[in-house]
């Protein structure tokens, strides 16, 4: 059993400015074909449009109707992400 990597990431809608932190998890195993990406907790105002185990294909819908991929429009919290 691979360990799960858990972290939170800020979602921000570019249309209405709604934002919040999603709690997500991925498999901590580099040999897997995909990271087994999952959103465990969606922030208020956002919902799943299309689930995917790839964060670049995981589509989020905002309460204003805007849809965007999890990876593309998300932003790290200020100072919250270590620079590798
Ligand atoms: Zn919005």
| Predicted confidence (pLDDT) at residue 74 exceeds the cutoff of 70 | no
Q: Which residues line ion ligand 1, judged by CB < 5 Å?
A: 13, 15-16, 18, 62, 64, 66
What mean pLDDT is reported for the chain?
A: 85
Phi, psi of 65, rounded to the nearest 5 degrees:
100, -10
Tens of pLDDT along 14-44? 999 999 999 999 988 778 777 789 999 999 9
DSSP annotation string for 31-68 = TSSS---EEEEPPTTEEEEE--SSTTT-EEEETTS-EE
Question: If you measure from the C-alpha of residue 34 to the centroid of ligand 1, how many angstroms do you get, rounded to a whole number?
Answer: 28
Global pTM?
0.74
Phi, psi of 37, rounded to the nearest 5 degrees:
-60, 135
């Amino acid at each position: 059993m691979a360990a799960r990597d858990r972290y939170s990431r800020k979602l921000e809608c570019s249309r209405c400015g709604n934002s919040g932190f999603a709690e997500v998890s991925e498999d901590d195993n580099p040999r897997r074909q995909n990271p087994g990406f999952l959103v465990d907790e969606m922030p208020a105002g956002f919902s799943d449009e299309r689930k995917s185990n790839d964060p670049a294909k995981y589509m989020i819908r905002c309460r204003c109707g805007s849809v965007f991929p999890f990876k593309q429009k998300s932003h790290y919290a200020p100072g919250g992400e270590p620079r590798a």
